[in-house]
Amino acid sequence: MRTLLGWIFKASFVGVIYLGVTAGGFKVKLPDEVLGYKVPEAAQQWVDRTTQISDFGKQTQAGFKGIADSFK
């Protein structure tokens, strides 16, 4: 039971971090090099995609707000 509870806590923590990054709560900017090693392109692309998802979410919210305001 204790192990199950530990894994649930870890999974929920990772989920909150993932939602924070993808929802735009945290802005992540990867440097070109870390400790002398080049950051992989896949990591850079992942960060760019999460930024785009955040932008799409903001555009959607703005669109729905406009629709809701038109009903008032």
33-69 pLDDT, tens digit per residue, is 778 888 788 877 877 777 777 777 788 888 888 888 8
How many residues are listed for the chain in this entry?
Answer: 72
> Is a pLDDT exceeding 70 seen at residue 4?
yes
Give the max Cα distance, the chain: 57
Sequence-distant (≥ 6) Cβ neighbours of residue 27 within 8 angstroms: 51
Domain definitions of the chain by residue range: 2-71
Tell me what pLDDT residue 33 has. 74
- Give the C-alpha separation, 48 to 43, whole Å: 9
pLDDT number for residue 62: 84
Residue 14, sorted as left (phi over 0), alpha (psi -120 to 50) or beta, turns out to be alpha
